[in-house]
């Protein structure tokens, strides 16, 4: 147990824990930390608490503030990459040869580039995820796992979890700890970005279109941000790719209409996995990208969030290219990079293969996928690499140093899962929001944070995948 976290004697007091679990679940419901059920994902008749930890998890204060402080730099970096077509072409040139999904996204990107840019308002809502790597001396270093530039979720629910943990800690007799739980309001921060872009679009009737999945268990997370928009009298509609395909069209000025409503912003909460796309959906995506609607994200910003781009950014000199004359910014960003290695054909990639096969437990092998559950660890790395190491198929992956955070004991509360003390690892996410109008960054903010925690039995997977649960940092 880390210093100044929740003491073991509290964690082992079974009677107290049983009481606290009841209190915790009621508090989650009262505070609106909610999810629909697996059985009825498209109805709010019966809902449950979103999975969360019984206790907040210790996070060193300095590292936490470091993560918040670097966010506006990451916002600028993503935005700069999205405007640099020669960098994107080069960085993704090998990936798109062997990865169909990235290839299809890239075709849309090329199409839009050739047609000429249509919308000068750019809206980015992202989440940069980190784990804290243990150093030999007991300190920890902030290491980025990835940056999500599309459909970054849980900002809504994370705005309501602090009150739950504060309450649990008070009932547990730990008033002083409860005061150390920070306020957090990504809902407002993300909505601010959406509202700014909507205002710049400049049509009162035009709507924000949430492009959503077929199964909508996590709707409450969306609703928190959505309701912030309604408060500002900004109309929101929720539609699926199929709806856009059926009723969507562009008028002469390439304004996008869906169900007869002009769309100011398409906010993608879907569209990041191959399974999200039928041929019809690909066409709908292309139409939206070609349109005058603000896209959150646009196709170039989506591509800027790929794992291959992350790996290319870690090469010497690449950050300097994006931030000439700003060595401090370069240093702050680079300090958060874990080791990242190419698997492209050639001597450098061969070296990566040899390194991974020699010490598979020190690495993570990542395909160009989002949404959790796709990465490979340990023996799986060897199995897969042995199969692809001689062929260009290996270029569909990147290799990354495995970050080794310090495990902490906690209870993970999830509907239908028996209560047990788990050894847990946490991942800190920081939300970013920015709006660029032509050449001017008119908004660039850190929009709040998200702590997710999972049992160390799972090496991969997020909250939606049923592995991680919502948490709060207890600064130590
Ligand atoms: P996805 O896009 O599928 O979310 P991530 O890169 O975020 O992919 O990886 C998914 C999960 O795998 C992370 O939430 C984390 O738990 C684990 N993971 C990913 N990269 C690393 C790493 N370098 N070290 C340790 N764990 C990792
Ligand atoms: Mg992730």
- Report, as an integer, the average pLDDT of 355-368: 97
* pLDDT band for position 461 (cuts 50, 70, 90): confident
Give every CB contact of residue 46 below 8 A, 6+ residues apart in sequence.
36, 37, 39, 40
3-state DSSP of the chain:
CCCCCCCHHHHCCHHHHHHHHHHHHHHHHHCCCEEECCCCCCCCCCEEECCEECCCEEECHHHHHHHHHCHHHHHHHHHHHHCCHHHHHHHHCCHHHHCHHHHHHHHHHHHHHHHCCCCCEEEEEEEEEEEEEECCCCCEEEEEEEEECCCCCCHHHHCCHHHHHHHHHHHCCCHHHHCCECCCCHHHHHHHHHHHHHHHHCCCCCEEEEECCCCCCCHHHHHHHHHHHHHCCCCEEEECHHHHHHHCEECCCCCEEECCEEEEEEEECCCCCHHHCCHHHHHHHHHHHHCCCEEECCHHHHHHCCHHHHHHHCCCCHHHHHCCCCHHHHHHHHCCCCCEEECCCCHHHHHHHHHHHHCHHHEEEEECCCCCCCCEEHHHHHHHHHHHCCCHHHHHEEEEECCCCCCEEEEEECCCCCCCEEEEEEEEEEEEEEEEECCEEEEEEEEEEEEEEEECCCCCCCCCCCCCEEECEEEC
Residue closest via CA to ligand 1's atom 2 equals 370
* pLDDT band for position 260 (cuts 50, 70, 90): very high
pLDDT tens for each residue of 182-201 = 999 999 999 999 999 999 99
Q: Is residue 423 part of a domain?
A: yes
Distance of CA 140 from the midpoint of ligand 1 (Å): 18
Residue closest via CA to ligand 1's atom 11 equals 460
Confidence (pLDDT) at 62: 96
Report the C-alpha gap between 204 and 447 in whole angstroms: 25
pLDDT tens for each residue of 67-97 = 999 999 999 999 999 999 999 999 999 999 9
Distance of CA 460 from the midpoint of ligand 1 (Å): 6
Q: Is residue 380 part of a domain?
A: no
- Report, as an integer, the average pLDDT of 287-311: 98
Confidence (pLDDT) at 4: 66
* pLDDT band for position 234 (cuts 50, 70, 90): very high
Active-site residue, from 25, 76, 127, 285: 127
Q: Can you give the pTM of this predicted structure?
A: 0.97
Q: Which domain holds residue 236?
A: 8-338+403-475
**pLDDT reading at 377 higher than 60:** yes
Q: Percent of the chain having pLDDT more than 70?
A: 99
Q: Which residues are documented as binding site for substrate?
A: 127, 150-153, 216-218, 269-272, 463-464
Indicate if 444 belongs to the active site.
no
Active-site residue, from 153, 178, 185, 276: 153
pLDDT tens for each residue of 121-161 = 999 999 999 999 999 898 999 999 999 999 999 999 999 99
Q: Is residue 65 part of a domain?
A: yes
Mean per-residue pLDDT over the chain, rounded: 96
**pLDDT reading at 322 higher than 90:** yes
Q: Is residue 294 part of a domain?
A: yes
Q: Is residue 46 part of a domain?
A: yes
Q: Is residue 253 part of a domain?
A: yes
Confidence (pLDDT) at 5: 80
- Report, as an integer, the average pLDDT of 436-445: 98
Q: Is residue 417 part of a domain?
A: yes
- Report, as an integer, the average pLDDT of 382-398: 96
Q: What is the tally of structural domains in the chain?
A: 1
Pocket of ligand 1 (CB under 6 A): 129, 131, 145-146, 338, 364, 366, 369-372, 374-375, 400, 402-403, 427, 460, 462
Answer for the pair 402, 362: CB distance below 8 angstroms, yes or no. yes
Q: Which atom of ligand 1 is nearest to the CA of 460?
A: 12
Most informative mutation of 141, 142, 146 for ligand 1 (most atoms within 8 A of CB): 146
Report the C-alpha gap between 453 and 471 in whole angstroms: 6
Confidence (pLDDT) at 1: 40
Distance of CA 341 from the midpoint of ligand 1 (Å): 15
Indicate if 127 belongs to the active site.
yes
Q: Which atom of ligand 1 is nearest to the CA of 425?
A: 16
Report the C-alpha gap between 435 and 223 in whole angstroms: 22
* pLDDT band for position 205 (cuts 50, 70, 90): very high
**pLDDT reading at 2 higher than 80:** no
Confidence (pLDDT) at 361: 97
Q: Is residue 373 part of a domain?
A: no
Cα angle vertex 379, ends 374, 385, to 5°?
70
């Amino acid at each position: 147990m880390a210093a100044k976290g929740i003491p073991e004697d509290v964690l082992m007091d079974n009677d107290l824990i049983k009481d606290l679990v009841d209190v915790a679940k009621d508090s989650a419901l009262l505070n609106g930390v909610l999810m629909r059920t697996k059985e009825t994902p498209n109805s709010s008749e019966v809902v449950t608490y979103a999975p969360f930890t019984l206790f907040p998890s210790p996070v060193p204060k300095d590292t936490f503030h470091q993560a918040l402080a670097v966010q506006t730099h990451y916002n600028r970096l993503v935005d700069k990459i999205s405007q640099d077509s020669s960098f994107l072409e080069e960085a993704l040139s090998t990936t798109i040869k062997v990865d169909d999904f990235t290839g299809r996204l890239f075709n849309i990107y090329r199409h839009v580039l050739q047609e000429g840019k249509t919308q000068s308002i750019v809206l980015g809502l992202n989440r940069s995820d980190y784990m804290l790597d243990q150093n030999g001396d007991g300190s920890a270093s902030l290491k980025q796992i990835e940056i999500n530039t599309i459909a970054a979720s849980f900002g809504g629910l994370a705005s309501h979890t602090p009150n739950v943990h504060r309450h649990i800690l008070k009932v547990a007799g730990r008033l002083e700890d409860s005061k150390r739980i920070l306020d957090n309001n990504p809902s407002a921060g993300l909505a601010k970005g959406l509202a700014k872009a909507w205002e710049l679009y400049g049509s009162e009737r035009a709507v924000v279109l949430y492009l959503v999945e077929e199964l909508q268990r996590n709707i409450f997370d969306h609703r928190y941000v959505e309701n912030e928009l309604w408060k500002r009298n900004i109309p929101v509609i929720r539609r699926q790719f199929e709806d856009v395909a059926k009723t969507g069209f562009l008028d002469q000025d390439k304004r996008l209409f869906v169900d007869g409503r002009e769309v100011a912003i398409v906010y993608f909460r879907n569209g990041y996995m191959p399974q999200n796309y039928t041929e019809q959906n690909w066409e709908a995506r292309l139409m939206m990208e070609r349109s005058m609607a603000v896209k959150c994200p646009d196709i170039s910003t989506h591509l800027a969030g790929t794992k291959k781009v992350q790996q290319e950014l870690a090469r010497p000199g690449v950050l300097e290219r994006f931030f000439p004359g700003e060595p401090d910014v370069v240093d702050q960003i680079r300090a958060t990079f874990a080791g990242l290695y190419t698997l492209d054909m050639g001597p450098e990639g061969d070296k990566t293969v040899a390194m991974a096969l020699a010490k598979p437990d020190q690495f993570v092998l990542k395909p160009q996928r989002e949404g959790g559950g796709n990465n490979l660890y340990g023996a799986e790395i060897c199995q897969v690499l042995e199969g692809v190491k001689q062929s260009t198929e290996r270029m569909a992956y990147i290799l990354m140093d495995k970050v080794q955070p310090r495990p902490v004991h906690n209870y993970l509360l999830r509907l239908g899962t028996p209560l047990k003390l788990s050894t847990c690892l946490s991942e800190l996410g920081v939300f970013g929001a920015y709006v660029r109008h032509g050449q001017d960054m008119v908004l660039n903010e850190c929009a709040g944070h998200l702590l997710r925690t999972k049992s160390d039995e799972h090496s991969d997977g997020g909250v939606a995948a049923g592995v991680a649960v919502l948490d709060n940092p207890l600064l130590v």
